[in-house]
Chain A
Amino acid sequence: MAEVANNTSLFAADTICTDLRAKTKDEAIKEMVDLLYDAGVVTDKAVFTQVIYDREALSSTGMGMGFAIPHGRSEVVTGPRVAVGFSRDGLDFAAPDGTLANLVFMIAISPAENNLHLKILAALSRKLMHQDFRDSLLACSTREEVLEKLSVITA
């Protein structure tokens, strides 16, 4: 948890999973909320899960192009964090282009988020629009490799 304090990175090894067990969207959300909870980023699973589903109810965050970004802003988030999960088989996030999501980024931020983090999220979002970046992430097999690939993202 102390790692978050350096204020520049939104990613950490303990919230990266290069092979999610989940086979469905619901399972993936649960698995990734657990990751965030175990890492101490989220203090209340029920509340945060609800926030995530409330957002999904507006419209699915399966963006197409093989990735999904479920996200939630809540008081129960201690520090901003983006959990990263890979699903080799792909998960059905009801994307408009019908693709399955191989990359899931679960964004947890607190209501009083500072601009720096929002800028990093914006930078991540931009990066994700590029096929080669997505492919390079999926080619990683360890958390450390993923972290290194993501470290190029700065505000």
Chain B
Amino acid sequence: MAKKILAVTGCPTGIAHTFMAEEALKTAAQELGVEIKVETNGAAGAENVLTPEDIRDAIGVIVASDKNEDTDRFSGLPTIITSVGDGINKPKELIQQILDGKVPVLNPGKAVKAETAAAPAGQESLGRQIYKHLMNGVSHMLPFVVAGGVLTAVSFLWGIYSFDPTSEQYNAFAAMLKNIGGISMGLMVPVFSAFIGQSIASRPGMIAGFVGGMLASSTGSGFIGGILAGFVAGYFTHWLLGLLSGLPKQYEGLKSIFLVPLVSVTFIGIFMSLTAGPVAAINEAMMNFLAGLQDSNPLVLGIVIGCMSAFDMGGPVNKAAYVTGTMLLGLGNDTFMAGVSAACITPPLVIALATTIFPKKFTDDERAAGLANYVLGCTHITEGAIPFAAKNPIVVLPILMLASSISAVLTYMMGIHVPAPHGGFLILPLVSNPVMWVVDILIGSAVGAVIYGITKKEEK
């Protein structure tokens, strides 16, 4: 029987790359004399889906995809997980790696064959995996933070003490909003941990991650505890699933609804309880360090935050700054977020101001997009600047980073408080010194706009 290799291809938009990789892999397989079956996860849904029989008969699997694919089904098979680009550009190498037996087995718990050493070139690096897990947590957490933060912020419109029945500002509706907002914000760390765990070990990992996150949240180990809970829960559950995979089939139900949750939750629970003290101390030390940096060295902090926020505008580096600000906000530090918000609001305003000050340097379309950037900037949507930056990133990004840094540094120097994690200028009524905050942001934006306008080539 011919050697049969399986492959899965996919990409986020799913209208072209998926099928290019499919064709490239098929052509390469033909040249190498191997049988291949390729499942395509394109925009029209999965086609040519791999069956359990296919998987049973295969000698190896290539997953060439830029979105999350279900890989658990390949447990026990040598599996390469790589980008769709590798599938298109080096299909032969990927197939050759499988043929040469150089590919490690996925989830070796189920495997009989020994693992091989050196990871092949296409293997997903550890750093990328960790990043992917972390971002899975972040993306599920953010909606909770935004809803919670904004509701809390809105309740302050009735007065900072409107939730307190003993205060004369008391308003029942405001108190209700603040309560709802607080609950939503409170789920931040648990949801974060749960979905880190889910990214590592699917649903069983989510269960342990959720409980671990609740413990992190209730024992004051906060953000750091949440990261720890998510990863420990995920990897422990992953290991546990491997360990139990040798169990006979008839115990499958018992395993998934009883054994795995019980053991993984017990483990993460004890682990988090025992580490709560030290982790809470680290968490507090970090908070104090950042708060200290705000007071003693606003310049350094502002530059770091400014550069991070403008570097990839809504991408992972920007999100790292944003998430840190949000977490600190959840823990009661509302000055850190002020700088992050200022830095995030600045890039679109740089673009908008530049199109207004230097109209001749921009096309009609760009001026229209510039107007939109006023709105995007005022509502804290950094992504508005992307199309402009994408045209000439090497020049534009440093300008935006400089502008954001100026805004953030000024904000920190004035010790401005911003109590909501999103909303841009819509939350101005909640800002401790709204006029100066806007001025800080406008100074940074204006400096950036002038430099951008001067350096920009005229477009016709």
Given A96-B89, A109-B15, A118-B15, residue A56 in contact with residue B390 (CB < 8 A): yes
Q: Are A107 and B15 in contact (CB under 8 A)?
A: yes
Contacts of A134 in B (CB 8 A): none
> At the interface, yes or no: A91 with Cβ under 8 Å from chain B?
no
B20 in the interface (beta carbon within 8 A): yes
Inter-chain contacts of A56 with B (CB < 8 A): 390
CB contacts under 8 Å to B, within A96-124, are: 96-97, 107, 109, 113, 115, 118-119, 121-124
Report how far A50 CA is from B348 CA in the complex, Å.
14
**CB atoms of B16 and A107 under 8 A apart:** yes
Known contacts A45-B365, A129-B24: A119-B16 contact under CB 8 Å:
no
Q: Is the C-beta of A55 less than 8 angstroms from some C-beta in chain B?
A: yes
Q: Does A54 lie at the interface of the complex (its beta carbon under 8 Å from any beta carbon of B)?
A: yes
Interface 9-mer from A1-9, A13-21, A57-65, A141-149: A57-65
Q: Is B40 on the interface with A (CB-CB < 8 A)? A: yes
B277 contacts A by Cβ under 8 Å: no
Contact, CB under 8 Å: A46 / B15: no
The residue from A45, A61, A64, A125 contacting B19, defined by CB atoms under 8 A apart? A125
Which one of B19, B27, B389, B391 has the highest number of Cβ atoms from chain A below 10 Å of its Cβ? B19
B43 at interface, CB cutoff 8 A: yes
Q: How many residues of B contact A (CB 8 A)?
A: 28
Cα of A96 to Cα of B386 in the assembled complex, Å = 22
Say whether A118 contacts B368, CB under 8 Å.
no
**Which A residues lie within 8 Å of B389 (CB)?**
57
Contact string against A for B residues 384-417, beta-carbon threshold 8 Å, 1 for contact and 0 otherwise? 0011011100000000000000000000000000
Task: Looking at the assembled complex, report how far the CB atom of B290 sits from the nearest CB atom of chain A, in whole angstroms.
Answer: 30
Given the known interface contacts A46-B365, A53-B390, A71-B13, the answer about A130 and B19 at a Cβ–Cβ threshold of 8 Å is no
Distance of B37 from chain A, by nearest CB (Å): 15
Cα-based distance from A128 to B88 in the complex (angstroms): 11
A49 pairs with B387, CB closer than 8 A: yes
Q: Which residues of B contact A109 (CB under 8 A)?
A: 15
Confirm or deny: B18 has a beta carbon within 8 angstroms of a beta carbon on chain A.
yes
Contact of B387 (CB < 8 Å), options: A53, A97, A127: A53
Instruction: Determine if B44 and A118 form an interchain contact, defined as CB atoms under 8 angstroms apart.
Output: yes
Check if A115 sits within 8 Å of B44, measured CB to CB: yes
Chain B contacts with A in 86-111, Cβ cutoff 8 A: 88-89
Tell me how far the C-beta of B294 lies from the nearest C-beta in chain A, rounded to whole angstroms. Answer: 32
A127 to B387, CA, bound (A): 30
Please list the residues of chain B having a beta carbon within 8 angstroms of any beta carbon in chain A.
12-13, 15-20, 22-24, 27, 40, 42-44, 85, 88-89, 365-366, 368-369, 386-387, 389-391
- Which residues of A line the B interface, CB within 8 A? 26, 45-46, 49-50, 53-59, 61, 63-64, 69, 71, 73, 96-97, 107, 109, 113, 115, 118-119, 121-130
Top 3 A-B pairs, shortest CB-CB distance: A126-B23, A125-B19, A46-B365
13 more contacts with CB within 8 A, not counting A64-B89, A71-B16, A125-B15, are A50-B369, A50-B387, A53-B386, A54-B386, A59-B85, A69-B16, A107-B15, A115-B44, A121-B15, A122-B15, A122-B40, A124-B16, A125-B16
